[in-house]
Amino acid sequence: MKKFIPNSKWVLVRPMEEENYYGSNFVTADDPNKKPQIGEVISGADFKKGNKIFFQRNGSVALEVNEEKLILVNQNQILGIYE
């Protein structure tokens, strides 16, 4: 099994399906291109594994590790932790 470890400015994220996290407590943009995405942290310097984070989609990098689709997100694109 291969392992991908991002450098200190990036966070490796497993994207989550929209219906699993948007509820009545969140107000989101009508434009899907402006809507933040949420994902679960796999590895990253400043975040714990398992943290759920909101991040901006543009500028992220899609990749596949061990046949799993993941996203590499720059820390500057992370909007916050979802609890």
pTM of the entire predicted model: 0.78
Domains identified in the chain and CATH numbers: 10-82 (2.30.33.40)
What are all long-range contacts of 43-52, with beta carbons under 8 Å and residues at least 24 apart?
A: 43/4, 43/5, 43/6, 43/11, 43/12, 44/6, 44/10, 44/11, 44/12, 44/75, 45/8, 45/11, 45/75, 46/11, 46/75, 47/11, 47/78, 47/81, 51/81, 52/16, 52/21, 52/81, 52/82, 52/83
The pLDDT value given to residue 26: 55
Has residue 19 got a pLDDT over 60?
no
Tens digit of pLDDT for each residue in 30-76?
555 566 788 999 999 889 999 999 998 888 999 998 889 999 999 99
